[in-house]
Structure 1
């Protein structure tokens, strides 16, 4: 049994939503249909308290042009909340800080507390203060407003924004037009009529300036982006950027805000191999479970 399925999960009802969007699939793709129905048997074998099959939408499109009674049933079951004892809820309110901050309280326990105590959270943005305004609707009817400063990291300073012509003259030929358009928009460069950059607009401007098109075969040293380098090294982009900033991974930027350029041959160097191994060694022992457990999932998500 999957270790992520806990006894608490098994006490709940399992729902198998069987659906094929056209009658052609219903009559012709019987293997897919059989596998969907087999999930009910798998849920029973796993030990769920009850298993419900919803197959009302077989042959109904999900485009919105037809009603889907099965999906409505599924939504109603998903939205159903367990009955909450008021006395226990009030007691929990007094003990919540202690329970939340206890060293034995793991992320899954905090998720369960959120599902019990929070009915919904509405998020709005206050551009004047650059804050996210969260309105927490607690079970019982009370509301709390929380303001959280929005992260400013990565925003390109407007005073540093080069002109589009200057940026294209420096970046042109190093990256495809699509990547150039992304970089120009990131650097807050605008077209002559104040529009954002697209691949077509970059190509037209590049051709007017006489800048050659990007051709990877003509590069003296084969280069890839930092994202591609991270994929090849098996680490995240943030870790790859950290290695670049420390000088372990050779990478350069022609302009701030433009893509990082990483020599392909550098990926196999001993220094990079040691740096990547250091990133991997810092991961938790059970990395996949950690990736799941470290995120607090809010009600309804």
Structure 2
């Protein structure tokens, strides 16, 4: 028994502190636990009868980063003077940092508590023991730092050689020799490869996400336990696949770093993503990727360009040149504004200098005529390759159907496997054990329901592919690119991508004296084109032509504003500013010229009829009535060549109308019919399979 142990120490209890640094040590280093618990016999030999074991900090590090409730409770008990000795196998079990170690030693000195390890007994009130404890605490802290430094250096050297693989991302598996290989599951491989294929076709991560959601396809995700699960994709999932260098066949390490900050209460850790030049390791072509390294870098550049403030990805707005127009005077990019009640009036303006630095405004002009002029230039460039583009579009459409069909077939194969597996489990169980059999039967039914759902989707996808456009139909569209480009159903984002593929940028300026907008188009191949468009001067009014106003006045008796706008556009008539007609513009024209809107009740009261209604009222065919109106026998109006006739009921109750009806009834001409001797071509009818 040590002479440092007195009666005042034995009258109080002893506390045995047991700790291991990590859960792995708790599970696998059982011998260390037994040695620490064996310290209880040493305390009994030293004379203590009441011994409390504190082992709630098993698996917690003593470096000071983690909160140790057991250590805190032990220090609290010592501070109250209830403990005569605190023991551990080694004093390093108490603490590995100076703050907690010095706190424990100082508290033990004040209340006269001994520290005991497997070698000796320390009395903190004695200067020699206090000095020895201080040296041991410093050595314990230094030893931990040295171990950390050696471990970090070894880890860093292994990472720089590309041999440190911690976890395998989805789509890969880690081999025994610390390498990455593609997941052997072909369904996983082809699903991830489809993400890169669709990005190369669509150009943005968001469009890839929308395509997957539209086709209702899933992507693999890896759980923390290593299992692969199939989930509905999100933008973060798509972006992570497109930006992770591992899918380009490169090994990376050290892409992020942690920094700690103290907010007055707790220490918070923040993770910062480092730029590529600061990564610890980047080794291209270290394993087989889902895409080549050069193609992966091109995807990174495309994503950066999509998020750039200067250009960015093609948006859904109507502005065709958003991000492409640059001011010739100051060199800044022009911004886009949408005005009007429906936000359909487009205007480009150079206002960044005024907004950011208070400089005078540079230029501003209407965007619709500029977009139309650039669109015509683009059509002029792409028209010679229209036929080839039609063939490629047809092939792309067929390839997209094949991609969806292949993905659904992979899903079906996986679902059928799960159904067979569930069926085998159900067949293998004891039918009398209903608690197990009912659950296995439910799982089997769920798997079979999933199989039937995927089979139905496959059938729908196959039937939808039968009605797809053919190569000839695409060729017809290519022959009339102008109509396709200006159609209301043409996607604005698609037109923007076409323009950005061909045009580098457009430099714009306004010449006040000439009253023109000067556009210099810089094409991708290095060719430059200058366009000069007339610009409305201050005080100058662009009126709609008088014939167009009279046509609207006549059509308003029979047609709504939407129909009038369609008729005007079909006849190639534009507004005074050269814009296409919309319902709002027709309403504005009527209000300005005081033309009443269409009212069905007033139309019936005044007796306005269309050609077919008037023909029914007279009792003749529409062709007969139309010819009579053209000859001047019956009054009628035809405001536009490709539009409806406007006829009043009162003009059909005249003697001329009666004579027309009688003449039509006396006519002996009958529609042409085949004679009995006329031979047929022998086509079979689809209804009764008889020759017609």
Q: Shorter-chain TM-score: which interval?
A: 0.3 to 0.5
Higher relative contact order (CA 8 A, sep 6+): 1
From the CA coordinates, give the structure whose radius of gyration is larger: 2
Using structure 1 for the length normalisation, give the TM-score. Answer: 0.35
